[in-house]
Structure 1
Amino acid sequence: MPTYITLADWTGEGIAHATESPHRLQQAREVFSAHGGEMTEFYMTMGEHDMVVVSTFPDDESYAKAMLKIAGGGSVRSETLKAFTEDEYRDICEAL
């Protein structure tokens, strides 16, 4: 399944209710699952972004639906990186 790296940042509303963030994280896991995805890793980070999520989904459309649902909650903004495994990376380079 495709892998996605999500760089997430709290909105003003999200940081104002930071104590609810662990509950929102669980809700995000449930949204991912409802769209056929799985959150494989989660990190709260220091630096330019507040959180990093690694997930897998069956396809781009499923990921997009899940992320639109989560973004609709108003607590986070996100940036998506579609990731390729080392094997996929090697196949891409070999095909050049």
Structure 2
Amino acid sequence: MTTYIVLINWTEQGIKNVRDSPKRLDAAKKVIGEMGGSFKDFYLTMGDYDMVAVCEAPDDAVMARFGLTLAQGGNVRTRTLKAFPEKAYRELISTL
């Protein structure tokens, strides 16, 4: 599985209905699960992003489809970062 960091901001619609946000998170967990992925961690954050999720998915295409599915709801905007664990980081650097 590949790890992804998802930076999330509520849209105007999403913050207007913020009380529904936990239900939407549960639905998002179900959607990614049906796609073969999962949430590893989820955080409400302060600063430039409202929330941060650490997700796993089988590949980039699955994660892209998940992001598009979230966007269709109109409640959040996301930025997704592919994350390399420390072992992969060390291997990459050692090849330089």
Which blocks of at least 5 consecutive residues in structure 1 are unaligned?
A: none
Local SS of the residue matching 1:8: strand
Report how many residues are paired: 96
- Matches of 1:95 and 1:41, distance apart in 2: 31
State the partner residue of 1:48: 48
Question: 1:23-70, CA deviations, whole angstroms, 9 ceiling, x for partnerless residues?
Answer: 000000011101111100000001110000000100000111111111
State the partner residue of 2:7: 7
Look up the equivalent residue of 1:57 and give its one-letter code: A
State the partner residue of 2:57: 57
TM (normalized to structure 1)? 0.98
Which blocks of at least 5 consecutive residues in structure 2 are unaligned?
A: none
State the partner residue of 2:69: 69
CA RMSD, 1 decimal = 0.5
Question: 1:57-90, CA deviations, whole angstroms, 9 ceiling, x for partnerless residues?
Answer: 0000011111111110000001111100000000
